[in-house]
Structure 1
Amino acid sequence: MGVFVVGDVPVVAMESSEWVDSRGGALGGAETNRVHPVSIFRVPKTLSSFKPDAYMPLLMGLGPYHRFRPELYEMERYKLVAATKAKSEHFPTREFQELVDTLKEKEDEIRSCYHMYLDYDGNTLLWFMTIDGLFLLEFFHTCISKEDRLSSSWSRTPNLFESAGSKFADHSILHDVVMLENQIPIFLLGNIFDFLDIDKNVLLSMVTGFCSEVSPFKLIKKDLSLSEVYEHDHLLKLLYHLIVMDVKVPKEACPINMPSGAPCPEEETHPKVDSGSQVLCSLLKLLSHLNIRLVRKITKPINMIVSLPWAAAKSLPEVSRMATNLEEGLKSEFDVLGEDIKNPIVEEIMIPSVSALCKAGVEFCLSNGDISSIKFDKRKKKLYLPHLQLNVNSDVIVRNLVAFETSISDFLVLGRYTELMNGIIDTAEDAKLLKKKGIITYSLKTDAEVAQLFNGMTKSIRPSKVPYIDIAIEDVNKYYYGTRKVKVYMCMKKYVYGSWQILTFLAAVLVVLLMGMQSFCSVYSCPRFFNLSNDLGK
């Protein structure tokens, strides 16, 4: 058997006889009652292609997916140090192979947890899974409080990651430990504790302490029993459960109904440019039917102008230049007028930004609950949002939680929450306002990093409906688009800004006519031609 790399993927090469032996053994000895549902998935390309570093470990590979990546070999010695430390403390007189042998009956369960077929022989798989498990337990030991650590029977010697020169591991390894493709089964850790004859409450303290330490969200439940922990196949699944806690979502979630004054996404992305033109043409048509001599003198030349071939006229260099300048001027004016109303993109849900909502009278308040506490109080005009704590690893944690949710559920609760935050946080000012309200706390360098974090997070997440979040979005939109300021702006945008094309051409034709009159007057005497007195010019 040999290993070679195709692209970024390690491939194990086997002789034909080895292949038959391995497949025959698998088919002959598989026990279906030991097979677990797949829970450790490969992240789909639709997610990982936007930000690969958030899903692919950069320093530490745990489990089988990234085992043979050459760039991760440097950290293998840290795994061996952790395994050696555990052996010297807990089973110094026994061989390491004995620990590996105790896990043989779990081999089928371990394989069934992974979405990808694991083309390794049983002993190789169990060896590196055991070493990874011991390393992970040592890392969890650093995450529990110092008081619990001193009373812990896992280790009383200096921690591997607290030795001189190892402080880099605090964030760098955490970055990789929380990734979906780096998960290893929790029951494997439990079997290691059984072999070492250590109280499993220590394992319970480790995993729950780790979840409390790294979670950006408020955990629904912190006091878990060991049996509740074992119900979850891996650490990321446990963390997701503690955040979402099996939110009940109906099978058919109603789409958001936009309020009567709110624009639909299509109208915002592609505004109807002919609505103002239609109004103007209807007005001219009505005036033309009035039997008033003065009005006919005004509308007749205008109707002639409107009926001219504007496409051909715009092709003229001078007219095209003036039309372009006027068009840009009109657009800039309306951009100033509508600076509080953002134009949504495909990835964003239809909801105004924090700054725009604050100017419209909406107050942001910190809720005492979890994600399910999101709501909008229409009477008090208050939008309640849960607390969110961000640091350098929060982007990776949230992305991998959403990737796991995408793999197991049709209703993306965390995905919908990130869409909401992406919708309301557009700029650094939006992040700063939420920070002042205590809704977001972060150790990032700038407010702009928070906006960048959310603005790039939902570009590849499939849409989903979560009732309590959608109700809050709908109520906010109804209030916002029902305010007088927004109604006036939307009306002007529809009937004034929408008519910019005809206004551009009218202005261009007027300039051409004035230039023609100037040329005419340079040849003929304009006052005499129009029967005007020369005294009028004085």
Structure 2
Amino acid sequence: MKEMELNSILNANLSKQRWVDQISKNFKDEVGVDVSDVPVCVFNVSKAISRFKPEAYVPQAIALGPYHHFETHLYQMERYKVAVVKAFLNPGQVLSFEPLVIDRLRKIDPMIRACYHKYLDLDDDTLAWIVAIDGLFLLYLFRNHGELERFIPKKLLNYAILYRDIMVLENQMPLMILNEIRKILDDDHSNGDSELLSMLRGFCEVYSPLKLCCDLDYSDKTATSYLHLLDLMYHLIVNNQSPKQASKQESWHREIDDDDREIAKKHHVIGNMGTIMELGEQLGKVRRVGKAINVILSIPWDKISSLLGFGKKLDKDDGDDHPRVTEIEIPSVSSLSKYARINFNCTNGGIRDMKFVVTEATLYLPVITLNTYSEVVLRNLIAYEAAISRSAMELAQFIDLMSGIIDQEADVRLLKGKGIIEGSMTNKEIVDLFNGMNMTNVHARSNETVEQLNEYYNSRPAIKAWKFTKKRMRGSRKALTVMLTVLACILMIVYSFCEVYGCPKLFNKIT
């Protein structure tokens, strides 16, 4: 019973009564508001996505919309949002704000709630005030880009964090609401939709990590053609492609690379054999029976048993507290360049223009700009794509590829030298970013570009020779290890016996 209460959307008797009041009000309305055409667009980020870096999916400085509105560490910005809104309105609109704006928003309350994936435990008045203040704050920000110093103290104003928070999925304000507020206050403006869309496009151009498509016709589009700012940025990124390049909607699959495990096993065997050799040296110094027995007893039989396969196998799973990041199966940039002589070049288009040209041995990638806020933008774009996509996840496919080919700083330096990676992030920060991005398409079909890269790489003579050797040694390595271990143990025992009791026929004593 307690578990059901914890998982319930209702957390108090007041909330239960509020739910009854809302249902009763909607049921009794003679003229209801049709919400069947209102798409859900502000989603909660699932734990499967957020568990790798949960702080990237929640606001740090400012709450926009109802999801995080009453969190204590964000509420200090509320007074400054109100100050910005009052500056945005004329004196007459400030005096008549409630009948002019709030009452209008109350009438479309069901439409507002329909935009949010999560149940909103708020009454009509509270929700109307939240979206009114936050919506007007965003309209001011988009219209007067970077002019908040006269409202917010410098110690609290950090534009990088502010713009980062604006791109968080759970912080999105539906454009349907923004457009409704704009029309309430500026209903005589004939070009309002195109002006709003132009402002949003300008914001996306500044903060998008990837280039946007340039054929957006403002005269043919309305502000409500897109669901919110993140949705606009997402579609401008995905739809950016060269005219000659056909759209490809494929997915990539990767399992954990075996090479690192093989290297780890090799070092494990070498380390244990080194221990045995050190013990052999110790046995060579033994001169008395007591010491011989002590040395034999000090032999790490647990390690030897582990080599022989009799020891306990350690659980390599880090548990839920430290989830393991997986990547697609593909060599790194350095390996592709060094061992397969694959070149890298940037394309003028977007993620749909990414391709590997076998005849040129060249991988073409779109230019990606990485700054302080870029990781949060990318993660929330992918989270949004996962929430709306039922087929190929094109942006996630590109990020999966970048995460697969970037393993170390040398990979970043090579891509920067080719003009593929730009921005202010350091090489280490970029490596950490992509190494921390979990593969999103676990069950998706393989991508043609990745398959071509792997096929080309594996066909190189040096790689074929290495894989052949590794395959042949894989079956014989355990037998060889067992044989060497047993032989070393026998030699140590015989040598210890002869050192104590003497074996003149086997060893010539050095005097």
TM-score normalized by the length of structure 1? 0.73
**Residues 490-505 of structure 1: pairs in structure 2 closer than 5 A:** 490-496=467-473, 498-505=475-482
Tell me by how many angstroms 1:18 deviates.
Answer: 4.9
Residue type matched to 1:70 in 2?
A: T
- SS state at 2:73 partner: helix
Residues 92 and 181 of structure 1, relative CA distance in 2, 3 Å threshold:
closer
Percent identity between matched residues is: 35
Tell me by how many angstroms 1:456 deviates.
Answer: 0.8
**Residues 152-191 of structure 1: pairs in structure 2 closer than 5 A:** 159-161=147-149, 165-166=153-154, 168-191=157-180
Tell me by how many angstroms 1:399 deviates.
Answer: 0.6
Give the distance between the partners of 2:338 and 2:17, measured in 1 at CA.
Answer: 73
Residues 268 and 77 of structure 1, relative CA distance in 2, 3 Å threshold:
same
Match status 1:382 vs 2:375: no
Residues 267 and 27 of structure 1, relative CA distance in 2, 3 Å threshold:
same
Q: Is the 8 A contact 1:87 1:96 kept in 2?
A: no
Match status 1:129 vs 2:131: yes
Tell me by how many angstroms 1:496 deviates.
Answer: 2.5
Give the distance between the partners of 1:413 and 1:59, measured in 2 at CA.
Answer: 31
Q: Is the 8 A contact 1:216 1:394 kept in 2?
A: yes
- SS state at 2:74 partner: helix
- Alignment match, 1:487: 464
Residues 495 and 172 of structure 1, relative CA distance in 2, 3 Å threshold:
same
Which ranges in structure 2 are unaligned for 5 or more consecutive residues?
Answer: 1-5, 241-245, 265-295, 309-323
- SS state at 1:184 partner: coil
Give the distance between the partners of 2:151 and 2:428, measured in 1 at CA.
Answer: 35
Tell me by how many angstroms 1:323 deviates.
Answer: 5.3
- Decide which of 400, 416, 432 is 1:452's aligned counterpart: 432
- Alignment match, 1:356: 335
Match status 1:54 vs 2:56: yes
Residue type matched to 2:132 in 1?
A: T
Q: Is the 8 A contact 2:80 2:151 kept in 1?
A: no
Deviation per residue, 1:276-321 (Å, 9 max, x gap): xxxxxxxxxxxxxxxxxxxxxxxxxxxxxxxxxxxxxxx9864848
Give the distance between the partners of 1:380 and 1:425, measured in 2 at CA.
Answer: 22
Give the distance between the partners of 1:205 and 1:106, measured in 2 at CA.
Answer: 26
- Alignment match, 1:237: 231
Q: Which has the larger radius of gyration?
A: 1
Q: Is the 8 A contact 1:143 1:209 kept in 2?
A: no
- SS state at 1:366 partner: strand
- Alignment match, 1:305: none
Residue type matched to 1:21 in 2?
A: D
Give the distance between the partners of 1:212 and 1:48, measured in 2 at CA.
Answer: 26
Residue type matched to 2:200 in 1?
A: V
- Decide which of 216, 219, 224 is 2:217's aligned counterpart: 224
Deviation per residue, 1:242-288 (Å, 9 max, x gap): 111399667xx6877x9xxxxx86865877x9xxxxxxxxxxxxxxx
- SS state at 2:345 partner: strand
Match status 1:403 vs 2:392: no
**Residues 63-212 of structure 1: pairs in structure 2 closer than 5 A:** 63-88=65-90, 91=93, 94-143=96-145, 159-161=147-149, 165-166=153-154, 168-197=157-186, 198=189, 199-200=191-192, 201-212=194-205
Q: Is the 8 A contact 2:65 2:134 kept in 1?
A: yes
Residues 240 and 19 of structure 1, relative CA distance in 2, 3 Å threshold:
closer
Q: Is the 8 A contact 2:83 2:151 kept in 1?
A: no
- SS state at 1:36 partner: coil
Residues 17 and 362 of structure 1, relative CA distance in 2, 3 Å threshold:
closer
- SS state at 2:108 partner: helix
Q: Is the 8 A contact 1:428 1:448 kept in 2?
A: yes
Give the distance between the partners of 2:251 and 2:125, measured in 1 at CA.
Answer: 51
Q: Is the 8 A contact 1:35 1:112 kept in 2?
A: no
Cα RMSD over matched residues?
3.6
